[in-house]
Chains A and B, each alone.
Chain A
Amino acid sequence: AAAAAAAPPRGLDALPTALDVLRASPDRVYMTGSAALDELLNGGLSCGAVTELVGRPSQGKTQVCLSCAVTAALDGRRVLYIDGVAGAGRAERIAQMMAERGGASQQVDILTAMGNVDLLAVHDVWAALDALQSLLATPSVPYRLVILDSVNVLLQPLLQYRGGGTNGQQLIAEVANLLRAVAARHQLPVVVTNGVAGNLVGGEPQLGTTWQHCADARLYLRRVMNGEARRSAAGDARFVDGDNFGLSQAPGSPTAGQPANTFAVEMQVVKHPKLPVGSFSRVFIGPAGLV
């Protein structure tokens, strides 16, 4: 009888209950380092989950990603940054952000910090898939954060929409599965940026319905101009980069009081397993990244 009691549970008895899971592994969150963003996410990015940043061109998605990477690197954590748009050019912006932050506070070892960011420049989705696959195959990776920027730029050239588009969908699903698997396997937060396509007034996140199931959390980014999320009346024709509502920074805008070259971005929760959908927060992005 004692032997039977000591035997481990088998079959259906071996399935853990929700309480067991709660006790065994409390949900870990990864703090991004930006107070506003962490508050919006109620703590930070969820580890083991994929967070997607969507927005029109030039809204600040890449800047948010770089800022999170820099915060992690300065803390001594290693980051994998897969970049499909500008590649190795990101190194200069990373160095800038680190220099700006280090200047304000105590002496920061920028060289060590820059060694903490593994910057992988990819020019097609196959290279990105190779990298993700090798992450999955390795039993333990040194990274605490994985960022993929940007998935629509990598996939767009390969998507064919013909009556359902079977082949493109397979590839999208493959990328989605790999990202989720990497996040779950290594209990990392994975951040991925996606674009929005459409007309001036509104638009849909790219890559369609197959992709939208990938991310556990989705944040919509939009630049804010002159205190309004709507553009104020202009005297003459203004330039709009995507949803940007004009780019002339008038003095007396809400970023006055912030360092020069700072702009405000409104981030809205569009999908999240735990937070209410629709909650939003305003963050500022300056030379040092997320302020």
Chain B
Amino acid sequence: ARRKQALARPGRRLPGPRCPAAQGLAMEASRSIASLPLAPSVAETLVRAGFRFVDDLRGLRVAELSQESGLSHADALKAIDALSEASSAPAGPGKATALQAYERLRTSTSRPIITFCRGLDVVLGGGVPLGQLTEICGPPGVGKTQLAIQLVLDVQIPQAYGGVGGRAVYVDTEGSFMPERAAELAASLSQHVGKIAANRRAAGASAAEAPQAPARDELLEGVAVYRAKDQAEQLAVVRALKAHLARDPAVRLVVLDSVAFHFRADLADTTTRARVLAAMAQTLTALAHEHGVAVVTINQVTTKMDRGESCMVPALGDGWSHGVASRVLLYWEGNTRCARLVKSATRPLEVARFRVCGEGIRDDAMGSGMKRSRPDGSPEGPPGRQR
């Protein structure tokens, strides 16, 4: 009734050009208020005040809407803004034909980030791809953090040497980032690139083709380390990444090690956890796409019993798993570390072997994986079948 009064009020603006009457169309399907990105309380207030469809909001000024519906001025402004955003967006602003999207992928000069293990690079299609979310999961001690540290250094390899030439962000939730180990890897990477540079210069390459290899300290300075000590901090850092990437457009890799740590103990409210994790996956994927950075999330695995046999499942459940487009599993096979691509948008699912040594992640020649030993010195065998 209040709404009818408003419509009858003189001086009301005429309906906009999208009004069905103006277009001469048959009855346009009415779009309900629920489809606008509004806070639930605002949407509820609008519905109670009699505004059910988006068309009911058209032509109203903020003060009118606020008076009509009982919303505060700020909320009424948000509602009108949401409406104008929705109307101004043409049919799919992000829409491209597959051909356009494919050509954009092909012609973009973004290389993948190499891992220094040739087998793994082949499996990944050249390396860890930019613009995507990739998950690396595996049991403890298999080398997830080692691979992460290798990647934040490898992303800095200059473009002249086949690298990406970008910076990195390392979000550490477990406290597992070891600066001494990173320094070790950085020194060996700097040496490796230095040798290539020297060879090229000896062969007569120009300064552009053989730039100075980055020094160890330079490589370490190229990694920003955030330490997230609990769930709230982790969520806050993920939200703040957008601002960080805007401030530092040279960043090409974000590593989140590990995404599971702060969420595994929270068994009380699993549905909220599923929602929060799904939102995080969505934020990270959107971040990767919009800024063209590689986002790598490290995940743990949990063991499930099935008919008397144990098997590994990625931690954090299906709410997280569904939102991840690409997943690599690291595991032990006897004494060898293996990396298997278990989910991918484009690549066939294959396996590569790798090893962790003083210089970092490297290829593994057949069967010569490093033997691990427990703290008490006894050699650790393959993970046995648990009953």
B: residues with CB less than 8 A from A are 25, 28-29, 31-32, 34-37, 40, 43-44, 86, 89-92, 94-99, 101-102, 104-105, 131-132, 271-272, 274-275, 278-279, 281-282, 285-286, 289-290, 301, 303-304, 306-307, 309-314, 317-319, 321-327, 329, 331, 340, 342-343, 345-346, 348-349, 382-386
Contact = CB atoms under 8 A, between A and B. Distances in A.
Nearest to B308: A233
B322 A152 contact: yes
18 contacts: A88-B131, A91-B99, A114-B97, A114-B99, A118-B97, A121-B94, A124-B286, A126-B37, A131-B92, A133-B29, A134-B90, A153-B323, A156-B275, A234-B309, A234-B311, A239-B301, A241-B321, A260-B348
B318 A56 contact: yes
B311 A246 contact: yes
A20 interface: no
B311 A153 contact: no
Contacts of B131: 88-89
Given A119-B97, A123-B289, A237 B40 contact: no
B385 A129 contact: no
A199 interface: yes
Contacts of B311: 200, 234, 237-240, 246
Interface of A: 56-58, 62, 73, 81, 85-96, 111, 114-124, 126-127, 129-131, 133-139, 150, 152-154, 156-161, 166-167, 170-171, 173-174, 178, 181, 185, 195-201, 203, 206, 231, 233-242, 246-247, 260-261, 287
Contact of B289 (A62, A121, A126, A235): A121
A129 B35 contact: yes
Contact of B275 (A86, A135, A160, A203): A160
A246 B304 CA distance: 13
Contact of A88 (B43, B96, B323): B96
A88 B101 contact: yes
B198 to A, nearest CB: 37
B342 A247 contact: yes
Contact of B346 (A93, A137, A166): A93
A119 B95 contact: yes
Contacts of B281: 153
A96 B125 CA distance: 13
A133 B304 contact: no
Contacts of A161: 271-272
> Which of A118, A199, A235 has the largest count of B CB atoms less than 10 A from its CB?
A118
Contacts of B31: 133
A120 B92 contact: yes
Contacts of A130: 86, 89, 92
B345 A90 contact: yes
Given A85-B325, A241-B327, A94 B102 contact: yes
A90 B329 contact: no
A238 B332 CA distance: 10
A236 B383 contact: yes
B52 to A, nearest CB: 11
A127 B94 contact: yes
Contacts of A247: 340, 342, 349
Contact of B312 (A73, A240, A261): A240
Contacts of A201: 306
A154 B103 CA distance: 26
